[in-house]
Amino acid sequence: MPTPSARTWKSAEPWTRDSSKEALRRMLAETEALGMCFAEADGVVRQRPAGRPPFRLETVDVSGAPDPLAAAEARIRAELDQPMDPATGDVHRQLLVHTGPESFCWMQGYLHIVTDGVSGTLIARRVAAHYSALMSGEPVPPSGAAPWREIVAEEEACLASDARDADRAFWRGTLPVAQGEPGAKRLVPAEQPLRADRCCAREAWKRAKTGSVDDSVDGSPETTGTTGT
């Protein structure tokens, strides 16, 4: 099932449908994660580029309905009920529902294998950046997203290094419940947000458990998250 994410935008000035569509088209063209297909081989799910399908964006106008927002929600839910096929690269849905002369609902629906709540927000921000650039005539800022091939190369290098066995040993010792062992410890939230930086997963986990967070790491992204149980 797709991961639903519906957003309502309201503009202080009349917005243009053509610019909205173009902003979405540009985001999809540069977001490699949304151009992947998935298949199982020997019990392992693998991904590969599926190519760029022709841009298709459905638009619906419900501004004349007695309750435009309720009508938009019903249309969005119906769209999200449609199945997707990751084997063919069908991993997302985009829908614009016009609810008034200066407002619309943008539905972005994804299979969870390609995105989640955090990345969905980043995608929405990227669409907004493209839209603002189109309306102002200014160049759009760089996305900052790492190319897919670089991410694959980094993962392959990690799997071929000693860090793989060290990480496995650490997590098996830290999360015995994952192996069906008794005596699993209950995890508690950190007292402070865990700032994302370049530390390894083992160190991040230790810091999250103790609430010891160092925000002074140079070059760390300006994103934060919290740990949970």
Q: In angstroms, rounded to a whole number, what is the distance separating the alpha carbons of residues 193 and 208?
A: 8
Whether residue 11 sits in one domain with residue 109: yes
Segment 180-200 shows an average pLDDT of 47
Least confident residue range of 21-30, 82-91, 168-177, 207-216:
207-216
Among residues 136, 153, 169, which one ends one of the domains?
136
Q: Which of 87, 84, 86 is nearest to 109 (CA)?
A: 84
Whether residue 186 sits in one domain with residue 132: no
Domain-located, residue 224: no
Whether residue 132 sits in one domain with residue 54: yes
Amino acid in the structure at residue 164: R
Segment 69-75 shows an average pLDDT of 91
Whether residue 184 sits in one domain with residue 81: no
Domain of residue 185, residue span: 161-215
Whether residue 77 sits in one domain with residue 171: no
Whether residue 178 sits in one domain with residue 132: no
Domain-located, residue 128: yes
Tell me what pLDDT residue 23 has. 92
Q: Using one digit for the tens of pLDDT, what is the confidence trace for 79-90?
A: 888 888 889 888
Average pLDDT, the chain: 75
Whether residue 121 sits in one domain with residue 170: no
Domain-located, residue 148: no
Among residues 121, 136, 151, which one ends one of the domains?
136
Domain-located, residue 144: no
Amino acid in the structure at residue 97: V
Domain-located, residue 155: no
Segment 127-131 shows an average pLDDT of 92
What CATH number should be reported for the domain holding residue 40? 3.30.559.10
- Number of domain units in the chain: 2
Q: By the 8 A CB rule, do 193 and 225 touch? A: yes
Whether residue 30 sits in one domain with residue 119: yes
Whether residue 63 sits in one domain with residue 6: yes
Domain-located, residue 152: no
Among residues 85, 101, 136, which one ends one of the domains?
136
Q: Using one digit for the tens of pLDDT, what is the confidence trace for 11-44?
A: 555 677 788 889 999 999 899 888 899 998 888 8
Tell me what pLDDT residue 130 has. 94
Task: Tell me if residue 40 falls in helix, strand or coil.
Answer: strand
Whether residue 109 sits in one domain with residue 179: no
Highest mean pLDDT among 69-78, 164-173, 190-199: 69-78
Largest CA distance in the chain: 63
Q: By the 8 A CB rule, do 3 and 110 touch? A: yes
